Amino acid sequence: MLKLLFTLLIVSLAACSTLPSSRSFQSIPPPERQHQLAALQEWSNWGVLSLQNRSQSLIASFRWNQQDKAYHIQLDAALNVGAITIEGEPGHVLLRESAKQFYRATSPEALMAQQLGWYLPISPLQFWIRGLRAPGTAQADYDEYGHLKTLHQEGWTIEYADYQSVGGVDLPQTLQLSQAPMHVKIRIKNWHLSSPTSP
């Protein structure tokens, strides 16, 4: 069963045949599009991700629910990692591996690194996953539609391959994050916006 799950996740990450045509996108100036994305305060998505560093390789499905600054992320990984839940808001994070086993910290990155041996940059990823620059200094390149194409921020390089239109808002479908030796690929299968906005 685990081998089957592992194979299905790899296929999901690689699949590109159902991407929406970019011809449905509207060209919006980057500042206006960034303002539109920043207005999304309640959203959820699910998909699959792969993570590689010097000592580990991981593939997992995920579900991410965001309510303003509070997040709830569930990771279901193949092999020996199992299910992990991360709940947090600024200054307080809970990582749960089972009903009785949980850990607390002030930083999701430090907590994951300490307990799992790997981490996702969750604090800025709340912005990056929307195709939005996180607060702070950044270098960004945009495509002809005003979508983020490449972002350099907090020592990470984020590359956006595909977008999808959801409720009048263009959101990332595939993005890759790299900060040596860490490489992460995220493939979002579905977005849900509680309060979509239009440009």
Considering the domain boundaries, does residue 195 fall inside one?
Answer: no
Considering the domain boundaries, does residue 146 fall inside one?
Answer: yes
Query: Above 50 in pLDDT, residue 18?
Result: no
Considering the domain boundaries, does residue 157 fall inside one?
Answer: yes
Entry field: residues in the chain: 199
N-terminal to C-terminal alpha carbon distance within the chain: 45
In degrees rounded to 5, what are phi and psi of residue 46?
Answer: -150, 155
DSSP 3-state of 29: coil
β-bridge mates for residue 152, sequence order: 139, 157
**Residue 116 pLDDT level (bands cut at 50, 70, 90):** confident
Considering the domain boundaries, does residue 191 fall inside one?
Answer: no
Query: Above 90 in pLDDT, residue 132?
Result: yes
Say how far apart CA 97 and CA 82 lie, in whole Å: 8
pLDDT tens-digit series, residues 99-112? 678 899 999 999 99
pLDDT in the model for residue 101: 86
pLDDT in the model for residue 97: 86
pLDDT tens-digit series, residues 42-61? 999 999 999 998 888 889 99
Considering the domain boundaries, does residue 113 fall inside one?
Answer: yes
Average pLDDT over residues 110-135: 94
Considering the domain boundaries, does residue 21 fall inside one?
Answer: no
Which of residues 167 and 32 earns the better pLDDT score? 32
SS3 content of the chain, % helix, strand, coil (to 5): 20, 45, 35
Query: Above 50 in pLDDT, residue 21?
Result: no
Query: Above 90 in pLDDT, residue 194?
Result: no
pLDDT in the model for residue 55: 83
What is the residue range of 175's domain?
A: 2-12+30-185
DSSP assigned state of 97: S
Considering the domain boundaries, does residue 139 fall inside one?
Answer: yes
Here the CATH number for the domain that contains residue 73 is: 2.50.20.10
If one counts the domains in the chain, the total is: 1
Considering the domain boundaries, does residue 197 fall inside one?
Answer: no
In degrees rounded to 5, what are phi and psi of residue 28?
Answer: -125, 135
179 CB neighbour count, 10 Å cutoff: 14
